[in-house]
Structure 1
């Protein structure tokens, strides 16, 4: 599989793209000094959960990369916002039954784009590309198991045309 560009429209079935773009609701604040890109993701902490903020530091992955597993968070959403400026890959499949190779979509995210995976959306763990990369992560803390992992029946190799 070859990664496609990450766009709001293409990613909509899986969650939201978090970026400062003209398509987002935005307005000027702080006496005209700041543009606020407002309410970019529906952060879902689920019942009895609370929103937490963490930093994940991902090691770069070599391409082509074999996708052998996927995970999901059934009790809340999970948002990733890069802070290091480098591109990364986003591998997703619809919420529901465990995915097969035919269910996967692969996106190439720019270093100024974040993603918010909707509750229960299958996704691959962090896939930094060009170097060690930090991500601000907003997700759920609370009671109950909130990470399901599955091994794919078939390994999928992903690559990037850039």
Structure 2
């Protein structure tokens, strides 16, 4: 990861909301069977014991456009993510999270799939922002709460915060991403003084 800018944005406040495919479409895709079953292209699979929902989130490798010319491989990584308790707080009875970093992967999608988490649990927080001339437009940051049976795919070049686990203990994620080992091509970061995300 390479830090490309540091910004004072301590006045920015955003309210987290439940996830939906439509709300997240500008930032990538989600995998959430209960939310996507009705509108998805479907087929029967596994001798009739499964329903396949087709092409639900993109998997993209644009490293052919990277300056180094170094090819990337598709990798499944595991992230064991702990709740960032030092960044949680409260204000006037509202639980808050202070977001201090946004990052992006300029040439690849990145998908986080939670492992072994309850579908009823508010499991993790996803914070995203649109791009503005090569940097996050932090004044338009959005935040979404994901359940334990929902996954997120960040689109190519989508600015997002590192994973924010909402429970009391760590959560494991299987993570699909393309990587070529060139730090600036794999991940860029912008560091902030801290923007407030309201969780309730």
Q: TM-score, normalised by structure 1?
A: 0.90
Q: Is 2:131–2:137's contact at 8 Å kept on the other side of the alignment?
A: no
When structure 1 is superposed on structure 2, of 5-14 and 46-55 the one drifting more is: 46-55
3-state SS of paired residue (1:24)? coil
* Alignment match, 1:137: 175
CA deviations 1:94-114 (Å, max 9, x no partner) are 134322531210001111111
Counterpart mapping for 1:51-62 below 5 A: 51-62=74-85
* Alignment match, 2:110: 78
CA deviations 1:63-99 (Å, max 9, x no partner) are 3221111100001111111113241000001134322
Q: Is 2:73–2:180's contact at 8 Å kept on the other side of the alignment?
A: yes
Q: Distance in 2 between matches of 1:124 and 1:159?
A: 15
* Alignment match, 1:91: 127
* Alignment match, 1:32: 48
Q: Distance in 1 between matches of 2:172 and 2:17?
A: 22
CA deviations 1:28-47 (Å, max 9, x no partner) are 21111122222221111222
CA deviations 1:98-145 (Å, max 9, x no partner) are 225312100011111111111111000111110211111110122532
When structure 1 is superposed on structure 2, of 23-32 and 128-137 the one drifting more is: 23-32
Q: Is 2:15–2:142's contact at 8 Å kept on the other side of the alignment?
A: no
Q: Distance in 1 between matches of 2:126 and 2:197?
A: 11
Which stretches in structure 1 are left out of the alignment for 5+ residues? none
* Alignment match, 1:150: 190
* Alignment match, 2:11: none
Q: Is 1:101–1:155's contact at 8 Å kept on the other side of the alignment?
A: no
* Alignment match, 1:108: 145
3-state SS of paired residue (2:162)? coil
**RMSD, aligned CA:** 1.7
Q: Is 1:19–1:40's contact at 8 Å kept on the other side of the alignment?
A: no
Question: How many residues end up aligned between the 2 structures?
Answer: 160
Which stretches in structure 2 are left out of the alignment for 5+ residues? 1-13, 65-70, 89-95
